[in-house]
Amino acid sequence: MKKLFKPKGIDLLDVRDQALRHQVKEWSIKSWGKFNGFEVFTWLNPSREKLIATLDSMPFPIIWVSTDDVFQDQCREEQNTFPNVQHVFIVSTRYSIENHFGETKKLGSFFEVFFIPELMANKGIVVVTAKGKNGEQLIHDFTLSLTHSCE
């Protein structure tokens, strides 16, 4: 006699719901609180429109630290201006950066922004953006540096 095994059912709606919650958790803007007087935010894989709206809506001076690929995505149309962005710092992943937006400066890592003397006199918001697997690792390293520095 053949035994029939009843496969365990997978509720596709539950799987989809979990995937969406994971995506929102991992890919939305995250606040890390204050560090050296700056409100610090990270954002992995920001959508172009949401990032533009966020940079336009933040009320305090913004220091935008980004990987070159996210920066290139934002600057592909020359009409974008970000009045609240005071400084732009780029961590290079593969592109060469031209000065599209005022003066951009290169950094070796996201955390280096906290060691720039001229920024220490001014306080405001630091927004760190990156995308992809490489960006995920860079943001992970950055947040580890933040948490270790606060201990």
Q: Where are the domains positioned within the chain?
A: 30-150
Q: 30-150 adopts what CATH topology?
A: Protein-Tyrosine Phosphatase; Chain A (3.90.190)
- Predicted confidence at residue 1, as pLDDT, reads 57
pLDDT tens-digit series, residues 66-104: 998 888 888 776 666 778 888 889 888 765 555 445 567
Q: Which residues contact 74 (CB under 8 A, 6 or more apart)?
A: 48, 51, 52, 66, 80
Q: Are 67 and 90 in contact (CB under 8 A)?
A: yes
Cβ burial 6-35 (10 Å sphere, 16+ → b, else e)? eeeeeeeeeeeeeeeeeeeeeeeeeebeeb
The reported pTM is 0.75
Average confidence (pLDDT) over 21-33: 69
